[in-house]
């Protein structure tokens, strides 16, 4: 009697009713938030330290980019030619080395209380405040989930949760919440809903409430029958050459899907971007950048088993590139693709994990959790092009310029999306509470 949408038992009319309660935004900007789950090393991505001792600088060298004076890791040659499209925040600093609280902090802009996450993730806030942009396309997606270790909707509840698209986008079995019903059975259920609505009308339901009920029921059916979602999910509409540039693997195709979902009308897409394999198992959802062991082998590929695996671990082989080349391929192609389609000015791209990694390489040839310093990349939607904001010390251990925490990242995201973070308040709270208590990072917008 309810048409499910993969929203933990919440029916679609309730979901759409809740999503419509928000107000509008000042400008029509979307966001693709690439969450590097597990915590990517800033040394091996956007803040190399060639002058540090070997146990800090690591095995790889910096490489020059198309922005004079800006250097990034040599293992990201594609991004090196696109640094004129992005800004790097090198003076980022968090508060915790915990995956759980760190992830909740950076995806919401609020440090969670001991009782667990209260304030919702960015995409859920945007969905609650702005509602759906296009009928039949949810406002907020998670690919495959809206950031590991988080409870995305927080106090808002499941009505504002992300619409998760699990599985491989290239597979016809990908799960995006559409009921797995034959057409006849679906039509039977629609007929049953119609009869129930008629009974409600005979029961003398208040006219205004009934109109709203009819509206949301109609939109729920639209989501399931309009074909907008099916079209957005059909990656076969893209050229083979473009799909290959993103990467013919599950995570490259998820980044491509994110662009298609934004193009179809979604406001916010969160990608849990990490390849699964190596020492951490073979699942397709819980990939990680959490390289405590064998960092340099693990970041490049999980296909071949290294010779020096710790005795208590098994190596799970995964074909294709590892996290670092996959990020290089998919992110560089996303930036080009958005730019060529005229979408980069209206799409904010954010790339970050929950923390950085320790300056000193440990005895297992890895780096451990380190909230003291890290790097964040942003592009599009008014973000300065080719800028480097802030710096860390010679050993990459702490910012030597004004540090910018998750609260400041939150303020910058909301500002880029058109929300006045000083005057915009969380919905459904009795006391007006601003959506962030941070500050827009100077020089970034």
What 56-62 contacts at long range (C-beta under 8 Å, 24+ apart), as own/partner pairs, is 56/359, 56/360, 56/361, 56/395, 56/396, 58/295, 58/296, 58/361, 59/296, 60/296
Does residue 435 lie in a domain region?
no
Residue 30 contacts residue 261 (beta carbons within 8 Å)? no
CA distance 31 to 414: 10
CA distance 140 to 152: 11
- Residue carrying the six token digits 């979307």: 30
CA distance 432 to 146: 26
Condensed to tens digits (0 to 9), the pLDDT of residues 3-19 reads 444 444 444 554 455 44
Does residue 393 lie in a domain region?
yes
Residue 337 contacts residue 330 (beta carbons within 8 Å)? no
Which segment, 230-234, 302-306, 361-365, is predicted with the most confidence on average?
A: 361-365
CA distance 375 to 389: 10
Does residue 17 lie in a domain region?
yes
What is the SS3 assignment for 293?
coil
Q: Is the pLDDT of residue 298 over 60?
A: yes
For residue 315, the domain's CATH number is 3.40.720
What is the SS3 assignment for 338?
helix
Does residue 236 lie in a domain region?
yes
Question: Which of the pair, 126 or 189, is modelled with greater confidence?
Answer: 126
Question: Any idea which of 103-107, 287-291, 354-358 has the lowest mean pLDDT?
Answer: 287-291
Q: Which domain holds residue 118?
A: 12-416
Does residue 427 lie in a domain region?
no
What is the SS3 assignment for 412?
helix
Instruction: Please give the DSSP secondary-structure letter assigned to residue 288.
Output: -
Instruction: Please give the DSSP secondary-structure letter assigned to residue 37.
Output: T
Does residue 64 lie in a domain region?
yes
Does residue 182 lie in a domain region?
yes
Tally of domains in the chain: 1
Does residue 432 lie in a domain region?
no
Using only C-alpha atoms, the chain has a radius of gyration, in whole angstroms, of: 22
Which segment, 72-76, 174-178, 426-430, is predicted with the most confidence on average?
A: 72-76
Note the Cα 72 to chain centre separation in Å: 22
The reported pTM is 0.86
Residue 60 contacts residue 442 (beta carbons within 8 Å)? no
Report the pLDDT value the prediction gives residue 205, as an integer from 0 to 100. Answer: 42
């Amino acid at each position: 009697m309810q048409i499910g949408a993969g929203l933990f038992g919440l029916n679609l009319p309730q979901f759409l009713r809740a999503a419509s309660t928000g107000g509008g935004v000042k400008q029509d900007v979307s966001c693709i938030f690439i969450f590097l789950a597990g915590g990517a090393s800033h040394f091996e991505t956007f803040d190399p330290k060639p002058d540090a001792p070997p146990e800090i600088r690591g095995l790889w060298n910096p490489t020059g980019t198309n922005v004079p004076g800006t250097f990034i890791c040599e293992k990201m040659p594609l991004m090196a030619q696109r640094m004129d499209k992005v800004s790097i925040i090198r003076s980022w600093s968090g508060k915790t080395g915990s995956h759980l609280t760190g992830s909740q902090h950076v995806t919401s802009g609020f440090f969670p209380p001991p009782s667990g996450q209260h304030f919702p993730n960015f995409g859920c806030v945007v969905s609650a405040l702005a509602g759906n942009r296009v009928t039949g396309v949810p406002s907020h997606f998670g690919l495959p989930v809206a950031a590991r270790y988080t409870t995305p909707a927080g106090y808002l509840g499941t009505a504002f949760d992300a619409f998760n698209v699990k599985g491989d986008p290239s597979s016809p079995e990908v799960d995006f919440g559409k009921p797995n019903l034959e057409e006849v059975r679906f039509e039977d259920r629609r007929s049953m809903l119609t009869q129930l609505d008629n009974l409600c009308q005979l029961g003398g339901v208040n006219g205004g409430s009934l109109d709203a009920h009819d509206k949301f029921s109609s939109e729920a059916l639209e989501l399931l029958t309009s074909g907008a979602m099916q079209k957005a999910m059909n990656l076969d509409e893209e050229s083979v050459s473009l799909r290959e540039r993103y990467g013919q693997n599950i995570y490259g195709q998820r980044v491509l899907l994110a662009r298609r979902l934004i193009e179809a009308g979604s406001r916010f897409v969160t990608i849990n971007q990490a390849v699964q394999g190596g020492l951490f198992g073979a699942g397709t959802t819980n990939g990680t950048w959490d390289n405590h062991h064998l960092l340099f082998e693990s970041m490049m590929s999980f296909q071949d088993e290294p010779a020096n695996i710790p005795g208590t671990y098994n190596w799970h082989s995964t074909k294709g590139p590892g996290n670092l080349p996959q990020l290089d391929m998919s992110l560089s192609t996303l930036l080009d693709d958005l730019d060529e389609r005229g979408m980069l000015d209206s799409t904010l791209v954010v790339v970050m994990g929950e923390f950085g990694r320790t300056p000193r390489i440990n005895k297992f040839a890895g780096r451990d959790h380190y909230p003291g310093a890290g790097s964040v990349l942003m592009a599009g939607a008014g973000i300065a092009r080719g800028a480097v904001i802030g710096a860390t010390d010679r050993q990459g251990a702490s910012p030597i310029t004004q540090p910018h925490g998750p609260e400041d990242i939150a303020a910058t995201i909301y500002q880029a999306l058109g929300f006045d973070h000083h005057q915009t308040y969380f919905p459904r709270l009795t006391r007006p509470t601003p959506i962030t208590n941070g500050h827009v990072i100077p020089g970034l917008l």
